[in-house]
Structure 1
């Protein structure tokens, strides 16, 4: 089963990325299994937020505590933006990531892609591309490689890509 991220969540994160052209936005993906139920925005605590991100440690600890509560959302991954680039992991992202299987959603104003941090990934030895499903109302688009905004804020398309098993 593919991870699930709602169109509303992706749209909101892409809009936030567009509103921050000079600094990376970041946050925590929370949910159950691989279903993203919440994307919690955090402060970017990096020394140079224009070039990298660091999740606010206090918020990360808070999310770990909340996850221990009955029915609490687990930390299933993280998101951040690449203000001047494409949503592909950088060498810096790879150096920061633990090979723990967590999801990494990378967004720009116009594109979003999902990755998984693994020990021997295809991208910089740390990340594998992940196909995901996007629920929109009563419809679910499946096995997406990316969500793309096509010019207008209300005009979207998806990129389908074949992933190896």
Structure 2
């Protein structure tokens, strides 16, 4: 599967990662199916945001409510950065993953990778920046 990401969402993900450094950025991926139409940066509420991320639960709940009432696209996944690591899921990511099939985008330096959080663990996905 190839995930498509709008140029605006791609730029927001990179900007959020750069702005949060040396902390981990995090956010929501909104869209339909395998198409990310929007990325929304949210507060990292992890106790140690330099080493971990935790999406603000209030932001996550609000995004799901907006999707349910039709005022926003659905939450199809999440993004976060690894400011001192690699653009792949860490052991901590694997331990905290829900295995719900959502898309995870991970940023390290200028590298972006996409992953499917499937029942058997993370599977790599290709992506393309397309649309507008």
TM-score, L = length of structure 2: 0.92
What is residue 29 of structure 2 aligned with on the other side? 29
Aligned residues: 132
Q: Considering fraction of residues, name the structure with more helix.
A: 2
Are 1:133 and 2:104 counterparts? no
- Moved segments of 4+, more than 6 Å: none
1:64–1:12 Cα change, 3 Å? closer
1:23 and 1:32 map into 2 onto residues whose CA distance is 29
* Contact 1:10/1:112 (<8 A) preserved: no
1:68 and 1:136 map into 2 onto residues whose CA distance is 25
Which one has a bigger Cα radius of gyration? Answer: 1
1:130–1:20 Cα change, 3 Å? same
1:72 and 1:15 map into 2 onto residues whose CA distance is 22
Q: Secondary structure at the match of 1:132?
A: strand
What is residue 106 of structure 2 aligned with on the other side? 106
What is residue 12 of structure 1 aligned with on the other side? 12
Gapped regions of structure 1 (runs ≥ 5): 121-125, 138-165
* Contact 1:28/1:42 (<8 A) preserved: yes
CA-based RMSD: 1.6
TM-score, L = length of structure 1: 0.74
What is residue 53 of structure 1 aligned with on the other side? 53
Whose RCO is larger (CA < 8 A, sep 6+)?
A: 2
2:114 and 2:101 map into 1 onto residues whose CA distance is 12
